[in-house]
Structure 1
Amino acid sequence: MSDTPRYIRRLTHAEAELWEIVTASVTPYRQRPPTAPAEAAPPAKPPAPLREAGRTPAPVAPRDRPAPPPPPTPLTEIDHRTRVKIKRGRLDVDAKLDLHGLRQDEAQRALSAFLRRAQADGAKIAIVVTGKGLSREEGGVLRRVVPMWLQAPHLRDVVVGFGEAARHHGGEGALYVRIRRSDRLRGR
């Protein structure tokens, strides 16, 4: 059997005209060096109006530079080796916070205070229990927002990284949080 498809769809006349209009306004991201001397190419014709729709297309404005990609998050996921050490009991969990029953504003204040206190006490790993929530599809509110809070700028000097906890520590309803040593802050 051959690898070529049996049926190749051809563009309709309207699709071909639209494609021509779109590609006329595109400029390459990087210029490639010419491989052969450029021959006299026929001048590019202006885009033809769409005949089937009965109207002319709107002029396409050239785009400015694309937006720069967002900066990488400074937090790292807890690596597999650390997670296995915690799971097997070779690395102790130094502190635990249970957020069950708290409203969002209470939970956020409790989380910030807990992490700062744990850092001051010299904790390396903490568990934050958020709960799984009532619906399996969406999850609980705290389960969704606590990871965002852990990435907040005011906690960057405390949190190194976080990840889902092992089943016996709460599984999907809990997070391991790696805490930055407080003596590392003085060097900043």
Structure 2
Amino acid sequence: MSRPKTPLAELLKPLARSLRESRRQPPPATPAPPPEDDHSVFMRAVAGTEPLNHPLPYPHPPAEQSPHPRQRQRDEGLVMHDAMTDRWPWDEIESGEELLYLRAGQKLDTLKKLRRGHWVVQAQLDLHGLNTDEARAAVGGFLHRCVQADQRCVRIIHGKGLGSRNKEPVLKNKLRNWLVQRDEVLAFCQARPVDGGAGAAIVLLRGRRGA
């Protein structure tokens, strides 16, 4: 006795069930590519370009300025150091021991007032203990600072030379030579006895605006 034949539809049911289940499952995730580093991104961006044979003319960044202008301080200390010589023709100065000078174009009354102590002394420089080079630099820096501060009448103590080898006022004569070479000096004279007498000079300076 032969078995009954199974219909084809019954035979295909397991296959159909398997196909339906496979459709319900999500496909396996594709792994993401690793992230590119900055170098790789840059190289891909410049692919095909040619490098330059010379650097680009980028301007140099400005140098930072020091809060303490050391060079300016040194310059002020040596202002006109080389320009002030120890010898000068005395066309504009009276002869004699007394320091006395009036720049050309200034009124004679200006010198008279200076000798009488008409103006108040606003600053002072003492040259005691300095040699010639040190004194020259000190005088240059002092006059420069006084003009910047608009100090018009100043006193420079040069001494009477009592401590020098020949008992002569060496710095007194050199100071006279230095002062007449400075454009900011309008006049100078020997100080009054109360202000130092023969050991000091009173100097009248030009104002910052040239007055």
Cα distance in 2 between the residues matched to 1:71 and 1:162 = 14
- Equivalent residue of 2:202, what SS? strand
After the TM superposition, which segments of 4 or more aligned residues of structure 1 sit over 4 Å from their partners? 135-138
What corresponds to 1:123 in structure 2? 151
Whose Rg is larger? 2
Give the alignment partner of residue 146 of structure 1, picking from 175, 186, 195: 175
Q: Once superposed, what is the RMSD of the aligned Cα atoms?
A: 2.6
Amino acid of the structure 2 residue aligned with 1:108:
R
What corresponds to 2:196 in structure 1? 170
Amino acid of the structure 1 residue aligned with 2:111:
D
CA deviation after TM superposition for structure 1 residue 178, in Å:
0.5
Q: Which runs of 5+ in 1 are unaligned?
A: 1-69
Alignment of 1:82 with 2:114, yes or no, is: yes
Pick closer, same or farther for the CA change 1:140–1:71 going to 2, 3 Å: closer
Cα distance in 2 between the residues matched to 1:113 and 1:150 = 12
Q: Structure 1 or 2: larger helix share?
A: 2
CA deviation after TM superposition for structure 1 residue 139, in Å:
2.5
- Equivalent residue of 1:133, what SS? coil
What corresponds to 2:208 in structure 1? 182
Alignment of 1:102 with 2:130, yes or no, is: yes
- Equivalent residue of 1:183, what SS? coil
Percentage identity across paired residues of the two chains? 31
2:114–2:189 CA contact under 8 A, matched in 1: no
TM-score with structure 1 setting the length: 0.52
Pick closer, same or farther for the CA change 1:168–1:125 going to 2, 3 Å: same
- How many residues align structurally? 109
Cα distance in 2 between the residues matched to 1:96 and 1:130 = 11
Amino acid of the structure 2 residue aligned with 1:175:
A
Q: Which runs of 5+ in 2 are unaligned?
A: 1-88, 94-100, 104-109
Cα distance in 1 between the residues matched to 2:112 and 2:210 = 24
- Equivalent residue of 1:97, what SS? strand
Query: What per-residue deviation string (whole Å, max 9, x for no partner) do you get for residues 111-151 of structure 1?
Result: 00000100110111100000000289962210121000111
Amino acid of the structure 1 residue aligned with 2:143:
L
Cα distance in 1 between the residues matched to 2:158 and 2:90 = 28
CA deviation after TM superposition for structure 1 residue 92, in Å:
1.0
Cα distance in 2 between the residues matched to 1:132 and 1:122 = 29
Amino acid of the structure 2 residue aligned with 1:181:
G
Cα distance in 1 between the residues matched to 2:192 and 2:198 = 8
